[in-house]
Amino acid sequence: MVFLLVITACSENNKPANILEEQKMVSIMTDLHIMDGYMSSLMYNDSVRIKGKNFYATIYDKHKVTPAEYEKSLKYYSMNPVLLDSMYSKVELILAAKEHKLNKELISKPNKPLKE
């Protein structure tokens, strides 16, 4: 057990410069998946494609990273499939919690009758 902790600690120290922290990556990945879902719900045309680039840019701006930094970090974490899988599991949990919260809010709001 101690041996595993030593290996894990050493591997964290060997992380290259400019690699985003795991939790920050999970947060960015979550936002990107939400945006992917939104974009897939739209009718695809040139204006959506152009606006879509801007939508994704707002995610990188929100997290104060560049697309290149994110891609470099994703490539780094992809070299460790077990870690990347655990990160995606965290993304799934966050998305499920957000979906549950939205569904709960929708259920708690009374339906308004349609105006004729």
Alpha helix (H) residue ranges in the chain: 2-13, 22-40, 46-62, 67-78, 81-108
- Indicate whether 2 belongs to any domain: no
| Mean local confidence (pLDDT), 4-29 | 76
**pLDDT class of 54 with cuts at 50, 70, 90:** confident
- Indicate whether 58 belongs to any domain: yes
For 46-110, where are the E strands, in sequence order?
none
- How far is it, in rounded angstroms, from Cα 47 to Cα 52? 8
* 96-107 burial code (b ≥16 CB/10 A, e <16): eeeeeeeeeeee
Predicted TM-score (pTM) of the model is 0.75
**pLDDT class of 70 with cuts at 50, 70, 90:** very high
* Residue numbers of the domain that contains 73: 20-104
- How far is it, in rounded angstroms, from Cα 12 to Cα 70? 18
- Indicate whether 68 belongs to any domain: yes
